[in-house]
Amino acid sequence: DAKTTQPPSMDCAEGRAANLPCNHSTISGNEYVYWYRQIHSQGPQYIIHGLKNNETNEMASLIITEDRKSSTLILPHATLRDTAVYYCIVRVGNNNAGNMLTFGGGTRLMVKP
């Protein structure tokens, strides 16, 4: 699986857009990019995923570069409740060994008033 690199921590002002980068320079053509977040002492929560195209849902937008070697998760109007650890993961779909997602260290996002 492609390894991901994320900054360990970021700050964002409340109400502003939070842009969380992820580098996955060794990603292969059939690997999806997933984003999850984990609020302190809770289970991770799925946010969004994509393969090649940019994606948007009610929580966030995912921008994937044309070469697919990096991506950015955008929270358009961050609130204090968005303070969490954000995990960027890449993984193939339909893997016979199990669709196991590997969660690394992630980015600790602190939204400040």
Binding residues vs another protein (CB under 8 A): 32, 34, 36, 41-46, 49, 51, 87, 91, 93-94, 97-106
Say how far apart CA 109 and CA 80 lie, in whole Å.
10
Cβ-based nearer residue to another protein, 18 or 89: 89
Say how far apart CA 93 and CA 54 lie, in whole Å.
18
Say how far apart CA 27 and CA 92 lie, in whole Å.
10
Cβ-based nearer residue to another protein, 65 or 95: 95
Whole-number minimum distance, CB 100 to another protein, in Å? 6
Cβ-based nearer residue to another protein, 15 or 93: 93
Say how far apart CA 81 and CA 102 lie, in whole Å.
25
